[in-house]
Homo-oligomer: A and B are copies of this chain.
Amino acid sequence: MKLGTLRAGGRDGTLVVVSADLGHAVVARDIAPTLQAALDDWDRTAPALAELATALEAGSVEGRFALRIEDLAAPLPRAYQFLDGSAYLAHVERVRRARGAEMPPSFLEDPLMYQAASDGFLPPVGTIPVSSEEFGIDFESEVCVVTGDVPMGVGPAEAANHVQLVCLVNDVSLRNLIPAELAKGFGFVQSKPRSALSPVMVTPDELGDAWRDGKLHLPLLTWLDGERFGAPEAGADMQFSFHELIAHAAKTRPLAAGTIIGSGTVANQDESLGASCMAEKRMLEIIRDGKPSTPFLSFGARVRIEMLDGAGRNIFGSIEHVYEPYRR
């Protein structure tokens, strides 16, 4: 099933079940008022939501309405946790190569992950306000999962049982703020502002064969100003599966229901498939030419991120934003 959140009913919006083709929806308030409430009580709500989804698909449900993507908030307008990994080592290795550094061998065994902002996610379609182009505006196209309650100390095999939903994210990044911030040693605060989740989140069964071994085996499409920017295969070259990322996150503490775990920027060893962020394109230029020729984004840049199934159908809806100057 596919779940979304209407921009109505308060800070956490209103939970809706969305049809497979994203064309219709029905309010699920009688089952759970919000997606977080559904995740808090998933054993009860998931079967009821699945039943509603079946009825919606059959066209036999009362309250069915034509869905406009622009009426959707982020599926979780705010969440208690977003832990973003960096599981595609082709990306990590290129970042380091561009600055003349080698990737430590430990990176093959020990996942990179940081605690990211989750107190607010941008609506899936709209604008992304940034105070200055000087910040080095960028996107990062990623896959995420949403967990149920995960006990402290789970291994990857057990973690597989705690993946409730899958979605996409644009992990908005301000590249020129990153070096100074990371040099302080405490990770990202100012350089990673609010991110944008895809219009809907889907249960793993909705993905069929494309979801296996804790990875999503489909190309992740990124479009910049209407042109295809990248289509790397999200299931390839992912050094750590989502199950391993969850186990890493839960080593010393439990994870609360509704925790979002990000894959990191999707990147393949095969450079011909394109990239999932401007920084990576620039790094390939640096490696090739000694300096980047592509600038970071200017205001007015339009970024679209989406994933199609084997039949060309949009799975999660498209994340689509124009970056614009922030004015109070």
Interface residues, chain A, CB within 8 Å of chain B? 10-11, 40, 78-81, 83, 86, 107, 110, 112-120, 129-131, 135, 151-153, 174, 177, 180, 182, 184-191, 193-194, 248-249, 251-256, 258-259, 326, 328
Contacts and interface: CB of A to CB of B under 8 A. Distances in A.
Top 6 nearest A-B pairs (CB, nearest first) are A187-B187, A119-B256, A193-B253, A114-B186, A81-B119, A80-B119
A259 B194 CA distance: 14
Report how many copies the assembly holds. 2
A255 B78 CA distance: 11
Contacts of A185: 182, 185, 187
Q: Which of A153, A184, A248, A253 has the most CB of B within 10 A?
A: A253
Q: Which of A40, A129, A252, A326 has the most CB of B within 10 A?
A: A252
Given A130-B252, A152-B129, A190-B252, A184 B117 contact: no
Nearest to A259: B119
A180 to B, nearest CB: 8
Nearest to A84: B186
Nearest to A12: B40
B115 A189 contact: yes
Contacts of A113: 186, 189
B253 A117 contact: yes
Nearest to A77: B256
A189 B249 contact: yes
B80 A80 contact: yes
A195 to B, nearest CB: 10
Contacts of A258: 119
A11 to B, nearest CB: 6
Given A116-B115, A118-B80, A131 B252 contact: yes
22 contacts: A10-B40, A80-B80, A80-B120, A81-B119, A107-B184, A110-B180, A113-B189, A114-B189, A115-B188, A115-B189, A119-B256, A119-B259, A120-B254, A120-B256, A131-B252, A135-B252, A152-B193, A153-B326, A153-B328, A182-B186, A191-B252, A193-B252
Nearest to A174: B252
B252 A177 contact: yes
Q: Which of A107, A131, A186 has the most CB of B within 10 A?
A: A186
Q: Which of A40, A83, A129, A251 has the most CB of B within 10 A?
A: A251
